Homo-oligomer: A and B are copies of this chain.
């Protein structure tokens, strides 16, 4: 990969900070710790500091920040919980980091319509706490307790996507502030529409480069009558993947199905104090009526046995389920901590599921050639998987080695007609791969970016070079 050249980082124009301070008072901060927090991410990228952080509390605040930046030609980069993986919210050209975490009100829950309207700083766990009493839930679960605005901007998905889709399907509509400072609604609250270009989907996944999300309307789902979970180890990776493919073919509506390789199982056992066999393992979740669940579990159990699965441990008990999914959610930290004090590097690709077993097997073989600990885990039903590396901070050559392994992983996925990222986004880290994946289509993206943000001020330097 060639190095990415970011747009030049310019000094703030004279008088700009005076205007910002006059408008925002204590809501603007320039301290080292705050700036460092907004220039770092849960990833391996170097810190790139903003000149100042503005904490927005209202849509009017966002408009004012955008207008100040527009008039002074200062870059502005939205920031949520800072949990993104590809440096998506790192202000590579400096300027303003616009922190939206205080815009965290749940504005409406329309139970009969199965939707809600929230501000971008609402966290997904906060939302589900709020919804529980109404018998509803928001299914998208990327692991981290991310903000809804951040999940929208990176087109996040996670463990429930096989049944409930990704943020692409979950977002019904948006209110965004565009680079010209206008507040625009991308759609009404109807469940579907054929009214013009699908602006909602254009902003979902655009990583704050086209607009800043100030309101999100989300699809919700009824909490299932019953939830069961199951764990099953397999004697081969192919057996595990085939079990999932055959289950889907038989119409089993799997709610979650996660694959963890032997190394990841070892990491989970160590980190979450469990004692699962350290083999390729599937974690399942089933949603439905007791009758439906019984049928689903029986079918998947039979398929697992036919495909080399071991003991099929399933349970209806909430505490068993919580233990299982807590371990899954902590898998990233467990993997990094295979070496205490290590730097984590998480990457993801997604391939057609017919190629998944082959892609994971080849990747595992490649990882095994290296001394750097690395685990594989993923969302089998989608064909999406992650590799998490645990890198020695005192051995810079390991970073170079991981870069090469990551390059081979992405090339392998692309050769299988897959994508360079299933759910993390492009951010800083996957820009060369986006071009390898989509070629001329990136020029269409650039044309759209230029049309909507002619000054290139919204999260400049991300997704592609202009």
Q: Is A315 an interface residue (CB 8 A)?
A: no
Give chain A interface residues in 366-420, CB to chain B under 8 Å: 382-384, 413-414, 417-420
The answer to whether A448 and B188 have CB atoms under 8 Å apart is no
* Known contacts A184-B440, A195-B430, A440-B184; is-contact A417 B202 (Cβ 8 Å): no
Complex Cα distance, B440 from A322, in Å, reads 46
Complex Cα distance, B439 from A195, in Å, reads 12
Complex Cα distance, B110 from A433, in Å, reads 25
Complex Cα distance, B350 from A249, in Å, reads 33
* Residues in chain B near residue A199, CB distance under 8 A: 441, 444-445
Complex Cα distance, B450 from A249, in Å, reads 44
* Known contacts A112-B245, A440-B184, A447-B451; is-contact A434 B205 (Cβ 8 Å): no
The answer, among B186, B190, B353, for a CB contact under 8 Å with A417, is B190
* Residues in chain B near residue A204, CB distance under 8 A: 198
Complex Cα distance, B351 from A191, in Å, reads 7
Most chain B beta carbons < 10 A, residue from A135, A188, A288: A188
* Known contacts A196-B445, A198-B205, A295-B289; is-contact A352 B191 (Cβ 8 Å): yes
Chain B proximity of A198: nearest CB distance (Å):
5
Most chain B beta carbons < 10 A, residue from A161, A189, A463: A189
* Known contacts A198-B202, A251-B222; is-contact A157 B422 (Cβ 8 Å): no
Complex Cα distance, B125 from A225, in Å, reads 37
The answer, among B156, B185, B451, for a CB contact under 8 Å with A450, is B451
Chain B proximity of A75: nearest CB distance (Å):
19
The answer, among B156, B225, B251, B382, for a CB contact under 8 Å with A251, is B225
The answer to whether B421 and A194 have CB atoms under 8 Å apart is yes
* Known contacts A194-B155, A422-B192; is-contact A185 B291 (Cβ 8 Å): no
Complex Cα distance, B292 from A191, in Å, reads 26
User: A192-231: contact bitstring with B at CB < 8 Å (1 yes, 0 no)?
Assistant: 1111111101101110001000000000001011000000
The answer, among B112, B166, B206, B210, for a CB contact under 8 Å with A192, is B166
The answer to whether A192 and B423 have CB atoms under 8 Å apart is yes
* Residues in chain B near residue A196, CB distance under 8 A: 205, 426, 434, 438, 441-442, 445, 463-464
Q: Is A354 an interface residue (CB 8 A)?
A: yes
Q: Is A154 an interface residue (CB 8 A)?
A: yes
Q: Is A187 an interface residue (CB 8 A)?
A: yes
* Known contacts A197-B445, A199-B444, A424-B194; is-contact A222 B206 (Cβ 8 Å): no
Complex Cα distance, B449 from A452, in Å, reads 11
Q: Is A121 an interface residue (CB 8 A)?
A: no
Complex Cα distance, B434 from A186, in Å, reads 12
The answer, among B201, B292, B353, B452, for a CB contact under 8 Å with A198, is B201
User: A280-319: contact bitstring with B at CB < 8 Å (1 yes, 0 no)?
Assistant: 0000000111011001000000000000000000000000
The answer to whether A383 and B202 have CB atoms under 8 Å apart is no
Complex Cα distance, B196 from A288, in Å, reads 35
* Residues in chain B near residue A439, CB distance under 8 A: 184-185
Complex Cα distance, B201 from A206, in Å, reads 13
Q: Is A59 an interface residue (CB 8 A)?
A: no
Q: Is A115 an interface residue (CB 8 A)?
A: yes
Chain B proximity of A158: nearest CB distance (Å):
11
Residues of A whose CB lies within 8 Å of any CB of B are: 110, 112-115, 135, 154-157, 161, 165-166, 168-169, 178, 182, 184-199, 201-202, 204-206, 210, 222, 224-225, 245, 248-251, 253, 287-289, 291-292, 295, 350-354, 382-384, 413-414, 417-426, 430, 433-434, 437-442, 444-445, 447-448, 450-452, 463-464
Mind listing 5 A-B residue pairs with CB under 8 Å?
A113-B352, A113-B383, A184-B440, A193-B350, A197-B202
